[in-house]
Amino acid sequence: MAWPQDLIRLQDIDQELEDIEERLSDIDLRLQDDSEVVQARAMLKRSAEAMEQAQRTQKDIEFKLQQIETKLERSGQRLYGGKVRDPRELADLQAATKSLRERKAIVEDTLLEAMIAREEAEAAHAVAQETLETTQTEWEAMQQALKEERDRLQAHRRDLQEEREALRAGIPKSALDSYEYLWPRTGGMPVAHLQGDMCGLCGVKVLRATRIKVEKEEEAYCDGCRRLLVA
Ligand SMILES: [Zn+2]
């Protein structure tokens, strides 16, 4: 291949290498990012704590209720056992029993609420568990896919770099120097094709002398944008 064509191929390769570098650093960032899993794990921990708290609350209330029932049983035995005969003592006992019954009704309502809360907390915990498992599985699959893509890109980059070195060896040094000088100044497009007598990138009609240089495969520059011109 004549060197002007090599220069065009070099530009293609360098552009592709830039894209590869960009994608590789994006992949690196994504490989380090496990925030979704961390978040799902934190959610599960919070839901487990909430569930345990709700279970404890229900147990506490059940215990309270049991204590009231025991007291009620005892006062019932005394009230109807026939051993207490003093009217005043009986009246006190009746009042205490009545108050215990009222207390029992209140605690029973609280227990019902606690049971509902406990069931809800258990359901939320199950959902959090499932979410973590799904997130973890998806994350692992994504990591695997990213690693495979990274390996493919790295292999491709090695091939391109080899081809690049071979191409550069056949391009005149002054053209390479211009190419490198123009690269950052042209947004990574230092070489343009001459189309007829016009620059394929900026559209300027070039001088006849410039066109002849291009045809003779000599180093030539666009009279408009100063890019390297090739046929
Ligand atoms: Zn131009």
The CA distance from 27 to 35, in Å, is: 15
CA 4 / ligand 1 centre spacing (Å): 16
CA 222 / ligand 1 centre spacing (Å): 5
Beta bridge partners of 230: 193
User: Per-residue pLDDT averaged across 107-124, rounded?
Assistant: 98
CA 211 / ligand 1 centre spacing (Å): 12
Q: What is the mean pLDDT of the chain?
A: 96
The CA distance from 134 to 221, in Å, is: 58
Residue 108: name the closest of 78, 142, 69 by CA.
Answer: 69
DSSP string covering 82-116: S----HHHHHHHHHHHHHHHHHHHHHHHHHHHHHH
**Position 84 pLDDT exceeds 90:** no
CATH number for 34-169: choose from 3.90.550, 1.10.8, 1.20.1530, 1.10.287.
1.10.287
**Position 1 pLDDT exceeds 70:** no
Residue with tokens 């016009």, as numbered in its chain: 198
Q: Quick one: what percent of the chain has pLDDT higher than 90?
A: 94
Amino acid at 206: V
- Domain ranges, ordered by start, for the chain: 34-169, 173-230
Specify the pLDDT at position 8.
Answer: 96
Residue with tokens 């309502």, as numbered in its chain: 109
**Position 191 pLDDT exceeds 70:** yes
pTM tops 0.85: no
Q: How far is CA 136 from CA 39, 53, 131, in A?
A: 11, 26, 8
CA 160 / ligand 1 centre spacing (Å): 27
Burial label, 47 (beta-carbon count in 10 A; 0-12, 13-18, 19+): buried
Burial label, 128 (beta-carbon count in 10 A; 0-12, 13-18, 19+): buried
Ligand 1 is an ion; residues with CB less than 5 A from it: 199, 202, 222, 224-225
CA 192 / ligand 1 centre spacing (Å): 7
The CA distance from 27 to 200, in Å, is: 35
CA 28 / ligand 1 centre spacing (Å): 37
Confidence of residue 80 (pLDDT cuts 50, 70, 90): confident
